[in-house]
Chain A
Amino acid sequence: MSGNSMIARFLIGLSFVIHPALAVSEEESKCHTVQGPDSDTNPGENKERFEYRITVADKLRLSAASAGAEWLETEGLLLRARVEADSDSWGTALQLVQKACRQAELALQQAEYESKAWKNRVVD
């Protein structure tokens, strides 16, 4: 990389902008989009849905962690989701799980991309 190059700087900045475009699409995501509103009339179904999704999200988070790529707030989001679920606030709980799950997915994608991309930035 020619560090003083305006082109190099532009490309590095662009990599931040286009990074979300490399992200896993909603259709391909392992994190299911939250379906329907908070259902107080059927708490059993909400609990089952929540437990499944928080398990998926936490597995993805742990995968990101083992790749050294975990983001800062993912674990906190899952803890907050658990607190909301314990209070039967299922809509909020599921939204928090969804957010954490997508963060973990993006972190894993970032780690995979960076496993090769970093070499292009080495000063030479």
Chain B
Amino acid sequence: MIRAITIGLIILFASMVFQSAYAGPPEDRRAFIAYFESRFPAIPFAEYANGIYAIDQDARDQWLEIEEFPPYEFAVEQGASLWQERFPDGKSYSDCFKNSKNGVRQNYPEFDTRTGEVVTLAKAINLCRNKHGQNTLEFGGEKILALSAFIAFESRGEPFNINVPNDDVRALAAYEEGKRFYYTKRGQLNLSCADCHVVSVGQYVRADHLSASLGHPTHFPVYRSKFGSMLSLHQRFAGCVRDVRAKPFELQSTEYRALEYFLTYMSNGLEVNGPGARK
């Protein structure tokens, strides 16, 4: 009897260890959301799409005033014009982004099973251009940011729906790489993304409050008042890496695409609300 109970307990313990050691994307996401819900029980899930404005009331009030005359409107207009352009072969972006009337932004980044790569929206834009005989746009450049802003604007309200196929080890590896990047301390200041955007959410860094990572990708690209221009999510990644005094990676590098894959999966269910306006 005692032997049977002992064996049963060992099996139970082993299964718990196995489960925690091999928590997959759905388990990670559930734990991520539960963490923030327990930290900030008064904030509804949907509000996390608004970043720090879900937490900081003063900043939210200022943001709502800015949104009356959104500074990203010019980028959206430019993007709309670029979207209409015809490629040399007569095709356009809507030939690459099927069902674009139902929104596009919420589907990126996606894992391309043909190439085994994470494809972000910016990469997909350039792949579309190359496919139809057009030159590549510079990542972080005005045109690609304008197109991203337009696509995000047209996709507003659509819930993010990023897939990490559990039967593709390459997709899982890309997800895990992003997760590892997120939790790894780096730079001379020895900080990870999680140190600021999980542990220290709501605390001050210089004159700003730190936002939660839940919902981070939903509102990009953003208009940054600090620069007077649009900024992509990868440019923000590079800025954060630089701020902890580590050497930033290239925009659309494998590292940043994996990080975006992880972060956006964590934000599944939140609605596209880009482009955004930030300080």
Binding site for B on A (CB under 8 A): 3-4, 8-9, 12, 15-16, 19, 65, 68-75, 103, 110, 114, 117-119, 121-124
Out of A12, A15, A124, name the residue touching B31 (CB < 8 Å). Answer: A124
A71-B188 in contact given A118-B180, A122-B179, A123-B35 (Cβ < 8 Å) = yes
A70 to B23, CA, bound (A): 30
Q: Which residues of A contact B180 (CB under 8 A)?
A: 118
Q: What residue in chain A is nearest B254 (Cβ atoms)? A: A68
Out of B20, B32, B185, name the residue touching A123 (CB < 8 Å). Answer: B32
Pairwise interchain contact B245-A69, C-beta atoms closer than 8 A: no
Pairwise interchain contact B179-A114, C-beta atoms closer than 8 A: no
- Quick check: is B192 within 8 A (CB to CB) of the other chain? yes
A16 to B195, CA, bound (A): 11
A71 to B241, CA, bound (A): 10
- 9 smallest A-B Cβ distances: which pairs? A118-B183, A70-B247, A72-B245, A118-B184, A121-B183, A123-B35, A114-B184, A3-B35, A124-B31
How many whole Å from A93's CB to the nearest CB in chain B?
22
A71 to B185, CA, bound (A): 12
A65 to B248, CA, bound (A): 10
Pairwise interchain contact B245-A121, C-beta atoms closer than 8 A: no
Q: Which residues of B contact A75 (CB under 8 A)?
A: 247
- Quick check: is B255 within 8 A (CB to CB) of the other chain? yes
A19 to B249, CA, bound (A): 24
Pairwise interchain contact B190-A65, C-beta atoms closer than 8 A: no
